[in-house]
A = this chain, B = another copy of it.
Amino acid sequence: MKNVLVAGGAGFIGSHLCDALIAHGDRVFCLDDLSRGTLNNLGTVFANSNFFFERMDVGDARSLEAFMRDKNIDYVFHLAANSDIQASARNPQIEYSATLSTTWSILSAMRNVGVKKLFFASTSAVYGEQGDRASREDDALSPISYYGAAKASSEEAIRAFCHMNEINACVFRFANVIGSRLTHGVIFDFVNKLTADPTTLRVLGDGSQTKPYVHVSDLIRAIVALHNQANGMDVYNAGVETSSSVSFIAKEVRKEMGLPQARIEYGTEKIGWKGDIPRFRFDLSKIRATGWRAELTSDEAVRRTVKEVLRCKR
């Protein structure tokens, strides 16, 4: 039985990962400062005798190091980060403290304690604007959002710590991840907007933004399958080949909420907000070669998520 630490384990993706690691037979130590995550997300694992939760800001390197030493941690999953990109567009300091500082703190603690295995949740936003070209793992990074910059910077730090300390790190660059427990993003926003005003859905941007959405259940399967196989630092794009447009998502939300008469009003801008990437495509050949592929297409993931988000609100 491995002792695994999940930093940011009470968040959207982190909590699904805790569920899966418990099912996988690990002893799971979940750390979260509960600034964005919630204990509600841990409802299903909390009673398990192999699950332990502690409220901690993993940016507090001293506490984290003591914790890792005390619990004899074998493996660290680092999913602690800001998840609200529009919030940090207004206040970049959020990314510095929540996304970038936590990475240096975790890496320093691993180095000092001697933990040699890491999973890191990165993002497609590290690529920046690549137009219609499908981004590959070995492309030069070119983030344009503070969020993308903090994640790219985290990757640079991980590479150096791996080299200097013989750490093996599995890094996933996530597409847009959706599913139950979602707290941000276009589906969540549309549901909230139509709840507040069932007559009209105002959309940021012209609706043509098209991105791949991967369902969290598919993603977690990939993490469980691949997290232990890295040799040095190993980076994977993790997503789906298919994409969904903002206008498709708006119509799905309207339909599932039973509001077919609601008007959808689009903006005129190609992007939803500054730092947004209007179109995005992943090259997935590397992760495909491992045998993994998403079961749900992007549109299927959107459909399922709309239902999950609505079920939760009822």
Contacts and interface: CB of A to CB of B under 8 A. Distances in A.
Interface of A: 89, 92-93, 96, 100, 104, 107-108, 111, 128, 138-146, 148-150, 152-154, 156-157, 159-161, 163-164, 274-275
Contacts of A159: 128, 142-144, 149
Contacts of A145: 160, 163-164
Given A96-B104, A108-B92, A144 B163 contact: yes
A203 to B, nearest CB: 22
Given A100-B153, A104-B96, A160 B146 contact: yes
A160 B139 contact: no
A235 B219 CA distance: 36
Q: What copy number does this chain have within its complex?
A: 2
Contacts of A107: 92
6 contacts: A92-B161, A144-B159, A144-B160, A145-B160, A150-B157, A164-B275
A141 B143 contact: no
Contacts of A142: 159
A146 to B, nearest CB: 5
Given A92-B164, A96-B104, A149-B161, 17 more contacts: A92-B104, A92-B161, A100-B100, A100-B104, A128-B159, A140-B140, A140-B141, A142-B159, A143-B156, A144-B159, A144-B160, A144-B163, A145-B164, A149-B156, A152-B156, A153-B156, A153-B157
A142 B140 CA distance: 9
B164 A89 contact: yes
A141 B163 contact: no
A105 to B, nearest CB: 9
A160 B275 contact: yes
A146 B154 CA distance: 12
